[in-house]
Chain A
Amino acid sequence: MLLEVLQLVIYGLVLGSVIALGAIGVSLTFGILGFANFSHGDLMTFGAYCAFLFYSQLALPFWLAFPLALLATALLAIVFDQLIYRRLRSKDSVILLISSFGIALILRALIQIIWGPDNQVYASGIQMPYRFFDGSLRLKPDQLIILATTIVLMVALHLFLQKSKTGKAMRATADNPELARLTGINTEQVIIWTWVLGGSLAAAAGIFLGLDTRLHSGMGWFLLLPIFAAAILGGIGHPYGAIVGGLIIGVVQEVSTLFIEPNYKPAIAFSVMVAMLIFKPTGLFGQKKT
């Protein structure tokens, strides 16, 4: 029983890594640009398929395909921002939300057109999992890669946010956009950097999800709910909160399968989110504005 729970916790951390990487971007864009980005899931999907293009189709080595996919996704996010969101910035945030909903569709359609409607995998063949405790605890090599790379990415993110001037300005803007502007922070530049971060981490999340399961055009969209849940749980605009929120949602979802039908996992994320919104809408780490 204990090992069973432990196994689920490990799976939860793998899923949680994916959710957390997605939630960082959602939380930052929500905090800095002021709208809930409904296209973030599809940005993840795009990243996953870019890696598919570079790695599986063009046969580049994975260490090269991975950063290329991150870069491509970040660029695409910036293009959408400059082409569409920037022109809508003066409008009500709800208009931006609706527009992001449209971009989600455009992205998904493009992915289907370019890569076809069928499921894909990065590499076929079955991986032998590592076994512990006489096989009652298992971990696939891919999952180990996911966990390790997530840690590397988060350390890099941490250094960027804590040490660089742009990183600090980004946290400041996410915390209080108006104060940031009147302090003289160049918010347009911060926004570009936010998309670089959000886009590339979304791509990483998508790639990991594709690695752990398989690629299909709706993969990111269907993860949007737990991602929003994680971002809200951690407090909008708090990247560290998003990480913790993502890991919590991931673990809770997996462990919940002990008690409920696995099909209803997303309902758990939803319940956690609604409870949070009702009882402490600022999130675990957010503070009330004075």
Chain B
Amino acid sequence: MELSGLLSYAIYFGTMISIYGLLTLALNVQWGYTGTLNIGVAAFFAVGAYSSAIITGPQAGGYLGGFGLPLFAGFLVAALVCAILALGVGLLTLNLRTDYLAIATIGIAEIIRLVLKNEAWLTNGVRGMGDIPRPFKGWAEGADDLLFFIFAAALLLATYLFCEKIYNSPWGRTQRAIRENETAARAMGKDVLSFRLQAFVIGSAIMGLSGALYAHFTGFISPEAFDPLFATFLVWVMLIAGGSGNNRGAVLGAAVIWAIWSGSEIIISRLPETMITQAGSFRLLLVGILLEVILLTRPEGILPERLDMGGK
């Protein structure tokens, strides 16, 4: 009992790390590679989750669904919808200075949050969407969680390998050149906007995959799960803690911060009764302080980027 409890917790833990690891890798492609500041991670995460849920879900009263397409199609559509959204947003805003871009992305996130809440015909509004197909159900008695974890981890690994490959390609070098000195990159004849756009779209598509994975893992999604501040913020802390620019750092950051995040739940559950209702706030406070401490003491993260080019 004890052991199996521990095991199932480990499986849950691993799956969550895979989901967040995907988000962190995606943000790394945008921020770490190119220096594109996306404060709307939660929006792409949510769009991915909802897209896949709608595509693969059963017919339910009152909102879009009933396509019943296979899981594979759900993931594909999730990535695609996010990519298209990113393309639109990017064409509109990527020419802006980084800080303006950040402001624009919270705007996008805000609008998507409003759509999720208000367009009940599409998303069932605040009541959320249930009955999202859970893959591997009934494949092996009592092991479907494990199978799901293996699937999630494989997706993470594949994404990691993909991200590493593009990082080390000439494309990745150009991205870093843009990040380090946009003017110089432009002078060298690089189409800065196009390169930025590509990284933004790729990153957003990966965020969509992560959203789909999350939807199929929990089986139920509602706007609350995609609180912009919370979902976006945690991913940022993960990336900065792990080391932006470094894919291994990104995944490591996701694991470490998720461990701290869930560890804090255990500590806080021991707090006196009266403070339990505030447990979430204490955890938020903890992660906020953690971010500041990292920024002040080790801004390059646990695993800093190994720069293959001189200077900053």
Chains A and B come from one and the same complex: yes
Which residues of A pack against B, CB within 8 Å?
Answer: 30, 35-36, 38, 84, 87-88, 91, 93-95, 97-99, 101-106, 108-110, 112-113, 116-117, 218, 221-222, 224-225, 228, 232, 261, 263-264, 266-267, 269-270, 273-274, 277-278, 281
Separation of A221 and B230 alpha carbons in the complex (Å): 12
User: Does B98 belong to the interface (CB within 8 Å)?
Assistant: yes
Separation of A88 and B103 alpha carbons in the complex (Å): 20
User: Does B225 belong to the interface (CB within 8 Å)?
Assistant: no
Separation of A38 and B288 alpha carbons in the complex (Å): 13
The stretch of B11-19, B111-119, B245-253 that contacts the partner chain:
B111-119
Which residues of B pack against A, CB within 8 Å?
Answer: 35, 37, 39, 92-93, 95-100, 102-104, 106-108, 110-111, 114, 117-118, 229, 233, 236-237, 240, 277-278, 280-282, 284-285, 287-289, 291-292, 295-296, 299
Beyond A232-B103, A274-B93, whether A94 also contacts B281 by CB under 8 A is no
Contact of B114 (CB < 8 Å), options: A106, A218, A264, A273: A264
Contact in complex: B37, A94 (CB < 8 Å): yes
- 6 additional A-B residue pairs with CB within 8 Å, beyond A95-B299, A106-B284: A38-B39, A94-B98, A106-B289, A267-B114, A273-B103, A277-B96
| A-B interface pairs (CB < 8 A), number | 130
Contact in complex: B103, A36 (CB < 8 Å): yes
Q: Is the interface of A mostly helix, strand, loop or mixed?
A: helix
Q: For A98, list chain B residues within 8 Å (CB).
A: 236, 240, 291, 295
Q: List 10 A-B pairs, minimum CB-CB distance, nearest first.
A: A109-B285, A106-B288, A112-B281, A270-B107, A102-B291, A105-B288, A109-B284, A36-B99, A109-B281, A228-B103
Residue among B96, B240, B291 facing the most chain A CB atoms (10 A cut-off): B291
Contact in complex: B295, A97 (CB < 8 Å): no
Beyond A102-B292, A274-B104, whether A97 also contacts B96 by CB under 8 A is no
Beyond A36-B102, A108-B284, A274-B92, whether A88 also contacts B295 by CB under 8 A is yes
Separation of A222 and B229 alpha carbons in the complex (Å): 10
Contact of B291 (CB < 8 Å), options: A99, A110, A232, A261: A99
Residue among A105, A117, A224, A269 facing the most chain B CB atoms (10 A cut-off): A105
Contact in complex: B118, A264 (CB < 8 Å): yes
Contact in complex: A277, B117 (CB < 8 Å): no
Contact in complex: A104, B229 (CB < 8 Å): yes
Contact in complex: B111, A270 (CB < 8 Å): yes
Contact in complex: B104, A277 (CB < 8 Å): yes
Beyond A109-B281, A109-B282, A221-B229, whether A95 also contacts B110 by CB under 8 A is no
Contact of B229 (CB < 8 Å), options: A30, A108, A270, A274: A108
Q: For B92, list chain A residues within 8 Å (CB).
A: 274, 278
Contact in complex: A103, B110 (CB < 8 Å): no
Separation of A144 and B237 alpha carbons in the complex (Å): 43
Within the complex, the shortest CB–CB distance from A223 to chain B, in Å, comes to 11
Residue among A36, A88, A108, A266 facing the most chain B CB atoms (10 A cut-off): A36
